Amino acid sequence: MEAHQLHRGRLIDHVHLVVKDLAASKRFYEAVLGTLGLKIQGASEHNFYSDELFVSTADEHSGSPMRIHLAFQAADEAAVQHFYKAGLAAGGKDNGEPGLRPHYHEGYYAAFLIDPDGHNIEAVYHGPAQRSAESVVLRF
């Protein structure tokens, strides 16, 4: 039997986006995830995934495109800026330039993009913090 290993964060188990143009979405997410040190981990004709993010076509799940806000964690302010630039270059639309957002909390530095299907995608750096672990590893 093949062993499986999954990495999960502490807050989000997974986010599922149903999209109308899988190729455009894959191009966008490859670009913005790459700026955060992540990559697409698996893909098929109808879907792709990276860690907690799962993206599929409407015909795979008999749905229609959904609009979702999704926030990715960034290691620092430079990663937020890189995320924003790469997302714009890959077809995203501006929804908030990189900058401090003190109305969320002190040190909250983020940028917002609208992806090819209208989802509000954010990269956020919460300021200096200590992680208890890089990820939770599930092996089965």
| Predicted model pTM | 0.70
Residue 7 bridge partners (DSSP): 137
17-73 residue pLDDT tens: 888 899 999 999 999 999 999 999 999 999 999 988 989 887 655 555 556 888 888
The closest of 135, 90, 82, 78 to 115, measured between CA atoms, is: 90
Token representation of residue 21:
């143009």
- Angle made by CA atoms 80, 42, 27, in degrees to the nearest 5: 50
Give the per-residue pLDDT at 18: 84
Domains in the chain: boundaries: 5-139
Q: How many CB atoms lie within 10 A of CB 108?
A: 15
Residue 124 bridge partners (DSSP): 73, 110
90-108 residue pLDDT tens: 999 999 999 999 998 899 9
1 vs 55, residue with greater confidence: 55
Q: Which CATH architecture has domain 5-139?
A: Roll (3.10)
